[in-house]
Structure 1
């Protein structure tokens, strides 16, 4: 009887990891551009900076994960979109400083590595990178037996972008009378899923595969819809118009994210009747009897990103967004105050 211990007998399958690399390779390479200097498999990703037109380059970085939205991917055994969520959460954040994303790296950890599943995850990351116009230049896949439940994994990533120092968006120039333009979300994006799962799956016992007429799709399809990436239309706006502030509406909803870009002496007045809310938010609010303030403290409510501009630039911004396939809504105005978010209705 052979009692020799091996890494594989301890739960780590190196050969499966190598197979995963081969399966994900084409997805990774599909994001490469002329600035990427190496191929997948090196110890570090190499990226050559193109500084044309940039006088004082500033690198802007952001990191994030997907949160408990991953639980839905596990339940549905669907893993090819969750990577886009990870990319979106990072690139949308650095976009708020006016940065153009350059490259992205991901990290996936699991108890037992399945090559096809990891390749599906990375496929979603590659889709997100291409949507953001950045390269996936590296990452890490960790097999950690006994650390994660069977079939589960965690993932995170980080993005690096570039901006010209004189054009970094800080929010300092925001003044009363400025206009708030909201960009539609694709749905819940990647925040509030602990509440969603507790309410819809545990309390209401709803089936992820059941068709919900008011949602025009199955519950699982709607909940797993990937986070929208706003990079290309917003960068086009930034190139042509002075954008005073940008807010990515993520965890903490309106009340946490909007004040992050406001000066101390102004408020943001938000007209909550100025856009149509995706039906998933109405369903959540009704099923849970959730207050309006709690909804806007937790979810994006159909607005994934906000731009603050001068009134005279409003029409130009809306036109530029529309030319890039993005519909903007005038959802509010800046007023004198003390860095508060105030919800109002028509």
Structure 2
């Protein structure tokens, strides 16, 4: 007997649409299959057998996050193929900060009305993010929420697991004055501060398809630009350099995120004049009359991640990052102090 509930459908949930969505997304999931995947999509749990070769004490590292209100831009533009990259990025960029390699990912989509093609498009972005970060998409869930969400609305979140040998976990206690602070460039706003972005640009009524000379693209294209995934270049730099701290610059900006890897008694002294800040941030600050402090306390300002390395290893780290396609440059140094971060 086929699985079908007319009563459930009359209440707003279409079971068959869910099955169709799973069928359509399988081709995207297949792109993420890496050694270690045991299960296939559609089971009750995702199975993964990690390769522990060479690890004396493997440690699992997990991270979870969502795309936030950036999703509203995608909904307004009816463009749903990139926010999945943001979802993966927000999770895997966190777990690499301790030196872990992402191994698998699961997603969760709550949606007002299950449209199989839209769900599959969302998952295609998740799959692309997994490919970029070298991890497998081994499962997920799509939940139809009639009556609590509008038909066009959805919320995308995810969960990543990585692994690292305990001996290779980044040790912040080894940080010393004179260490170098390296900036890894962002692709733009990434996935934080979008409640303020939406307010400043009045996105519900703005022409998101209008070309903006200052940006070199349309406003919608800029605001939907996917979060950069730093996994491969960061892990490559960790292989060749003495890394003492890594920070993912997300909500809270410089002031909240950089201190998370700074031991007491030390301060990351950042040279603001060295920053290469994309035009979108200047446009946002100007149009919203946002104080500079609030900009640096909300946005990445063109720096999606910072890496603190021993001074003698700075050139090696920069070379490894650039060899792996990541623009990076020095923006400061570690000094003695109690502030943990100072922008000068």
For Structure 1 versus Structure 2, the TM-score category normalised by the shorter chain is over 0.9
Q: 1:110-143: CA deviations, max 9, x gaps? A: 1210000000000000000000000000000001
Q: Is the 8 A contact 2:107 2:141 kept in 1?
A: yes
Once residues 26 and 206 of structure 1 are traced to their aligned partners in structure 2, the CA distance between those partners, rounded to angstroms, is 35
SS at match of 2:98: coil
* Aligned match of 2:72: 71
Unaligned runs of 5+ in 1: none
* Aligned match of 1:234: 234
Once residues 118 and 216 of structure 2 are traced to their aligned partners in structure 1, the CA distance between those partners, rounded to angstroms, is 28
SS at match of 2:9: coil
Residue 267 (structure 1) shift: 0.9
SS at match of 1:147: coil
Once residues 162 and 202 of structure 1 are traced to their aligned partners in structure 2, the CA distance between those partners, rounded to angstroms, is 40
TM-score of the superposition, structure 1-length normalised? 0.96
Once residues 203 and 38 of structure 2 are traced to their aligned partners in structure 1, the CA distance between those partners, rounded to angstroms, is 48
Q: Is the 8 A contact 1:201 1:207 kept in 2?
A: no
Alignment of 1:1-346 (within 5 A): 6-201=7-202, 206-344=206-344
Once residues 288 and 30 of structure 1 are traced to their aligned partners in structure 2, the CA distance between those partners, rounded to angstroms, is 41
SS at match of 1:54: coil
TM-score of the superposition, structure 2-length normalised? 0.97
Q: 1:45-68: CA deviations, max 9, x gaps? A: 110110112111000000000110
Unaligned runs of 5+ in 2: none
Aligned residues: 340
Q: Is the 8 A contact 2:73 2:203 kept in 1?
A: no
Residue 17 (structure 1) shift: 0.6
Residue 5 (structure 1) shift: 6.3
Once residues 333 and 34 of structure 1 are traced to their aligned partners in structure 2, the CA distance between those partners, rounded to angstroms, is 40
SS at match of 1:273: helix
Q: 1:223-253: CA deviations, max 9, x gaps? A: 0000000000110111121210000000000
Q: Is the 8 A contact 2:241 2:314 kept in 1?
A: no
Q: Is the 8 A contact 1:65 1:86 kept in 2?
A: yes
SS at match of 2:81: coil
